[in-house]
Amino acid sequence: MNFKKNKKINLDETLFLQLKNNLNEDNDLKSGISKFIWNRNLSIILPTILTLLFLVGALLFMLLEGKVETNIRKMFLFIGLGAMVLLPFQMIISYLLNKKLQKKLNLIIHTKGNLKKIYETFFNQNNDLKNIEKVEYKSLNPDFSTNKFYGSHNEYLSQVGPAKKRDNLNLLSFKFNGKEGSFIIQEPVKCIKRTRSRRSDGSFRWKTNTTLVSMDSIFIVDDKIKNECNGLRIRSKGILKGDYQTESVAFNQKYSTNIAATNIAGAKFLNPIALDRLSNLNDDNFFALGVNEDVYIQKYFIKNPIYPIGIFDFTKLSSKNKLYEYMTRKIQFEKDLFKRSLEYISFIK
């Protein structure tokens, strides 16, 4: 699900105006956005020009053979080859500058955007977030970055353990049915997989495949559940090898656990209300539900990079007029992720 392309969610005009009113007069942001868009457009135009120069230079070098002086032909060849040599350098410089400007923009928004008030107003006044109150935005890290994992995305996901709280990610804290909770989105992970294949002539060819993985988590503090069920983990059918079975056929067909049939944690956590609720949920992005000091729910997303709460990806921003729409849709998307995760723990009272 890509929030930039998600037209099903109508733009929240109140949120849009709040963002615009808070940031529209900031000269640092205006300057940063102008530089970013200039660099983005340049990163599209320059490669096109350099590629055309290479093609024209090479073509003229061949077509003018025997028709003009050798030095003139060599000049066209030099122009073409020079363009091709410059192309990768230009692309690298544009990428690095783009990354630097993204970091700068997020830092400006982080320090001057009054995001705390905007987030808290938006989430606390949302009527479709049931049993949620006292939402607070905690800004801990303005960094726009990704992590790397060398292997396939399936290999990465196979080694992801129970969710853990982190003190270096922006988060939303809240009260859920009177219990303390928090919501985070982790930095996207670039899963880089290199594979080798044999050509027909016997030589080898290397291919690099990069897949982005994003994850979000909710944590709920519940001492009773922690004492009775700590270590319990629930994932999709067939992933975990515990032989615990519930009285619900629908649940058993949809999920697996990591506990033995005799472990009373299963019955304590998976009561009839929980079984009914979980059996009727069908979120394709569900990753795991469990207890690791806190009750947690994890979701995952493939290909679409989702940055932490309060961090904005402007990679495809083509005009200043779209800035506040991008930010609005990102915050609305975060609310959607939050709401979907809450459905998996709605049975906790």
95: closest CA among 153, 146, 30?
146
Claim to verify: residue 243 and residue 307 sit in the same structural domain? yes
Claim to verify: residue 238 and residue 338 sit in the same structural domain? yes
Tell me which of 51, 84, 112 is where a domain ends. 112
- What share of the chain has pLDDT > 70, as a percent? 85
Q: What is the structure's pLDDT at 225?
A: 95
Residues 185-222 have pLDDT tens digits of 999 999 999 888 777 777 778 889 999 999 999 999 99
Residue 1 domain flag: no
Rounded average pLDDT over 317-339 = 91
Residue 7 domain flag: no
Residues 51-104 have pLDDT tens digits of 776 676 666 656 655 554 556 656 656 666 666 666 677 677 777 777 788 888
Residue 183 domain flag: yes
Report pTM: 0.84
Claim to verify: residue 289 and residue 153 sit in the same structural domain? yes
Total structural domains within the chain: 2
Q: What is the structure's pLDDT at 124?
A: 94
Claim to verify: residue 119 and residue 96 sit in the same structural domain? no
Q: What is the structure's pLDDT at 89?
A: 72
Claim to verify: residue 99 and residue 217 sit in the same structural domain? no
Claim to verify: residue 319 and residue 211 sit in the same structural domain? yes
Q: What is the DSSP track for 117-135?
A: HHHHHHHHT-TTSTTEEEE
Q: Locate 269 and state its tokens.
A: 């956590």
Q: Write down the H helix ranges in 236-305.
A: 249-254, 265-269, 272-279
Claim to verify: residue 81 and residue 149 sit in the same structural domain? no
Tell me which of 58, 91, 112 is where a domain ends. 112
Q: What is the structure's pLDDT at 1?
A: 44
Residue 127 domain flag: yes
Q: What is the structure's pLDDT at 278?
A: 96
Q: What angle do CA 156, 159, 165 make, to 5 degrees?
A: 100
Domain that holds residue 125: 13-26+113-345
Better-predicted residue by pLDDT, 92 or 345: 345
Tell me which of 112, 141, 175 is where a domain ends. 112
Q: What is the structure's pLDDT at 64?
A: 56
Claim to verify: residue 31 and residue 103 sit in the same structural domain? yes
Claim to verify: residue 201 and residue 97 sit in the same structural domain? no
Residue 4 domain flag: no
Rounded to an integer, what distance in angstroms lies between the CA atom of residue 103 and that of residue 142? 8
Claim to verify: residue 72 and residue 121 sit in the same structural domain? no
Rounded to an integer, what distance in angstroms lies between the CA atom of residue 339 and that of residue 346? 10
Rounded average pLDDT over 245-249 = 94
The mean-pLDDT minimum among 65-74, 116-125, 157-166, 290-299 falls in 65-74
Average pLDDT over the chain, rounded to an integer = 86
Confidence of residue 106 (pLDDT cuts 50, 70, 90): confident
- What share of the chain has pLDDT > 90, as a percent? 57
Claim to verify: residue 222 and residue 85 sit in the same structural domain? no
Residue 234 domain flag: yes
Residue 173 domain flag: yes
Claim to verify: residue 107 and residue 132 sit in the same structural domain? no
Please enumerate in sequence order all residues whose Cβ is within 8 A of that of 247, keeping only pairs 6 or more positions apart, or say none: 272, 275
33, pLDDT greater than 90: no
Residue 67 domain flag: yes
